[in-house]
A = this chain, B = another copy of it.
Amino acid sequence: MSAADEMADGADKPWGEVSPEAARKLLVAAVEAFAERGYHATTTRDIAGRAGMSPAALYIHYKTKEELLHRISRIGHDKALEILQAAAEGPGSAAERLDGAVRRFVRWHAERHTTARVVQYELDALSDEHRTEIVELRRRTDAAVRRILNDGVKAGEFDVPDVPGTTLAVLSLCIDVARWFNAQGRRTPDEVGELYAGLVLRMVAAQK
């Protein structure tokens, strides 16, 4: 497989966009370790060990441990933004688009909860410069959801007295799935997505 093919795979296969192979293995190991113990409690020796390499190998592909976190956070936020923007700009009524947005966003947070945990809960460990970059992505994430809500209000589908506040609540609800979701638990990512989409629609629906 060529490098170009790997780039194209990025959307489907997790971390497909990271090459070469050794850099991807290290990044996947870092995601696991960060999700399990948190960024600060994870050592570079632990990451290298999980990837089956020596601690020094890490520094061939990444300048610092923080750069690893930034790469993970950047790719994850790009993916999250892509999901929500696609839903916001897609066809259908506001209710249909909100249903799809929540369903897909929640499913991603459940299915890839290790990644999502790092992406959503380790922002503070980023350098100032990197954090500023990521915060901008989150602003756009917020804007995508707010747009759907505004559309729904305008069309009379939704009754939402406080659009910014409700946007915040909807995103918060979805994001927190990464914290509590357990792959060994009773619910599948699909089931959680369905449950949450239903709850969110009831939160915003106009009374009949």
Chain A residues within 8 Å of B, Cβ to Cβ: 37-38, 40-41, 121, 124-125, 161-162, 165-166, 168-169, 172-173, 175-177, 179-180, 187, 192, 195-196, 198-199, 202-205, 207-208
Q: In the assembled complex, how far is the CB of residue A73 from the closest CB belonging to chain B, in whole angstroms?
A: 15
This protein's copies in its complex = 2
User: Residues of B contacting A176 with CB < 8 Å?
Assistant: 172-173, 175-176, 179
User: Residues of B contacting A162 with CB < 8 Å?
Assistant: 195
User: Residues of B contacting A124 with CB < 8 Å?
Assistant: 37-38
Q: In the assembled complex, how far is the CB of residue A186 from the closest CB belonging to chain B, in whole angstroms?
A: 8
Assess whether A180 is in contact with B168, with CB atoms less than 8 Å apart. Answer: yes
Residue of B nearest to A191 (CB): B165
A-B contact pairs, 30 of them (CB 8 A): A38-B38, A38-B40, A38-B124, A38-B125, A40-B40, A40-B41, A41-B125, A121-B121, A162-B195, A165-B187, A165-B192, A166-B195, A166-B199, A169-B173, A169-B195, A169-B196, A169-B199, A172-B176, A172-B177, A172-B179, A173-B173, A173-B176, A175-B176, A176-B176, A176-B179, A199-B203, A202-B202, A202-B203, A202-B204, A202-B205
